[in-house]
Amino acid sequence: MTQQVIICVDDEKTILSSLKAELQEAVGKDYIIEIAEGGEEALELIEELLEDGDEIPLLISDHIMPEMKGDELLKQAHLILPKTIKIMLTGQADLGAIAHAINSANLYRYITKPWQSEDLKLTVREALNSYLQDKQLTEQNAKLHQINQELAQLNSQQTALIAKLHENENRLRQFLEAMPIGVGVLGADGKPYYVNRKAKEIFGKGVVPNTSSEQLSEVYEVYQAGTNQKYPTENLPIVRALKGEIARADDAEVHQGDKIIPLEIFATPIYDQQGNIVYAINTLQDITERREAEAERKKFIQDLFEVNSNLELSLDAELEIAEATSRFVPNEFLAFLGCDSIVDIKLGGAVELEMSVLFSDIRDFTTLSEQMTPTENFKFINSYLSRMEPLIVENKGFIDKYIGDAIMALFSEGADDAVKAGIAMLHTLAEYNRDRASVGYVPVEIGVGINTGSLILGIVGGKSRMDGTVISDAVNLASRIESLTKNYGVSLLITQQTFDRLTNPAEYAIRVIDKVQVKGKSEWVTVYEVFDADWPEVKAGKLATLQLFTEALSFYNMKNFREAAGLFADCLGQNPEDKVARIYWERCQYSLSQ
């Protein structure tokens, strides 16, 4: 049975023992840890393991060793094990050796001595994961090669079938003659090649020799339906099929003296084995009975319309009124209150529900607004809101109210709907900003905050003026969370209550970023960032440093600011655009300076 082996090489036994112990703890359940005290011993070990049929995903070597330096060992090992991940340990950052290992051995990473235990374990896990992914990709490529071979064999069989089809051309002609619909065939030169029995009945003639494609309507008496004008030959489906189209027409008719035959025509090109069009074939269906039935149906509908015209007018008016009122009072709002229409609304009507509340707001709108006239302000707001509203509706939500440039939306079927709506809004905003940039306008930034909880939905006001609204601490918290997006330099924040109600949080790019006490609340609230809509490189950086960020935040919360600062600095080294990591790093620096 093949074993997965990790080889560790170092000339110092204590370091080798420590390295093996840490790797045994980290990945020892799945991998065997072997050690060697020098380069030659390591190469012999590799040879023995390969003879036994074992697999070596990872080789970790010290740099400074008496017999053979680490970069030379990795170079020789790479010739034997090109797929194996190589990591070098070094007490001193010898850039020349590192560059040599990178160029000659495809070095994955170097780790300085003494190493940080968690950094070592994380690097090893990432390296093993990279090796497994490469291995899976190789296996998939092999399967793809096999599939391609099978497809080639199928293509060969198809070629044989096509040859057999040509052999049966005479049998096909017999079949076409027996068909109850007309069939006509043009050759590649545009001249009639074949006309079956039914088509001869429709046209009153068969193949007319030396007829070009430009003469087809004239020779076969094909007209525009309901007129005495010849059908444009370039629009005939069979002529279009000669150009590679699959075409249809139901506006042609054949005139045979006083007899008019309306037709429905379908046409398609026929290709040879080289992909060249060799024929165009069409079917001709006499639709006289269908046209007569359609005429009768139209007459029946007209009679019915005249009888019910007054009733239909009143129904149309009601529909128009219902549609107009739904723009001011959402149908969902009425449904929750048990009202069929706006006229059923009563002051004081209310219902308690659990919902997810979404707040979004344009950042620095006052500054934007000052640069525009009142008319331009309205146009801008409507342009922006008209792009956001459909995204909320598509994700099973409805807009409770517009507050200037802000949106308050409610979602009753699940927290996932609210989060997906927020992500979609941010993606659409990116497209909107590209359109604005193309005409010289500045980009727009928004913040989105989502909270989930119990709320009261109902009607408030007086006898002459009422309004639908929602009242709850959950609503206020959603608004406060939205305002925090500017503080952290992020686009979308959700509360612990929303996170707990997500069906599968792993579907999202998400991380916890703080525990805060928002204005007007005594309890502390855990806040999560959802960064699915970040720029691709920023999102990738946050995902790559997710575990590192979580560990840094844990040290920060324990007031271990020095350790936290180092980890946050590592996050920024991999992803300089991580604004939250930068905020925490600056907090750590401030705390350490006090």
Question: Smallest Cα–Cα separation from 391: which of 355, 333, 337, 431?
Answer: 431
Residue 343 pLDDT: 43
In angstroms, how far apart are the furthest CA atoms of the chain? 108
In degrees and rounded to multiples of 5, residue 207 shows phi and psi of -70, 125
Map tokens 């350490």 to a residue: 592
In degrees and rounded to multiples of 5, residue 2 shows phi and psi of -65, 130
Residue 459 pLDDT: 64
| Cβ-contact 426, 501 below 8 angstroms | no
pLDDT band at 2 (very low <50, low <70, confident <90, very high): confident
| 29 burial level (CB within 10 Å; 0-12, 13-18, 19+) | exposed
Residues facing 448 on adjacent strands = 360, 492
Question: Smallest Cα–Cα separation from 567: which of 588, 537, 540, 541?
Answer: 588
Cα–Cα dist 510/493, whole Å: 9
Residue 324 pLDDT: 42
Measured on CA atoms in the order 369, 373, 379, 383, is the torsion positive or negative? negative
| Cβ-contact 78, 69 below 8 angstroms | no
Is 314's pLDDT higher than 90?
Answer: no
Q: Higher model confidence: residue 345 or residue 536?
A: 536
pLDDT tens, position by position, 439-456: 888 889 999 999 999 888
- For the chain, the first-to-last Cα distance in angstroms comes to 60
pLDDT band at 591 (very low <50, low <70, confident <90, very high): very high
Cα–Cα dist 113/60, whole Å: 13
Q: Which pairing describes strands 259-271 and 277-286: parallel, antiparallel, or unpaired?
A: antiparallel
Q: What is the mean pLDDT of the chain?
A: 86
Q: Higher model confidence: residue 324 or residue 29?
A: 29
Percent of the chain with pLDDT over 90: 55
**Cis amide leading into 269 (omega within 30):** no
pLDDT tens, position by position, 401-425: 878 788 999 998 899 999 999 999 9
Please, where are the H alpha helices in 193-340?
A: 197-203, 216-219, 237-241, 288-326, 331-336
| Total residue length of the chain | 594
Residue 455 pLDDT: 84
| Cβ-contact 444, 432 below 8 angstroms | yes
Instruction: Enter the tokens of residue 495.
Output: 């509360």
pLDDT tens, position by position, 327-341: 444 555 455 544 444
Is 319's pLDDT higher than 50?
Answer: no
pLDDT tens, position by position, 9-37: 999 999 999 999 999 999 989 999 999 99
| 545 burial level (CB within 10 Å; 0-12, 13-18, 19+) | buried
Q: Higher model confidence: residue 380 or residue 336?
A: 380
Cα–Cα dist 40/65, whole Å: 11
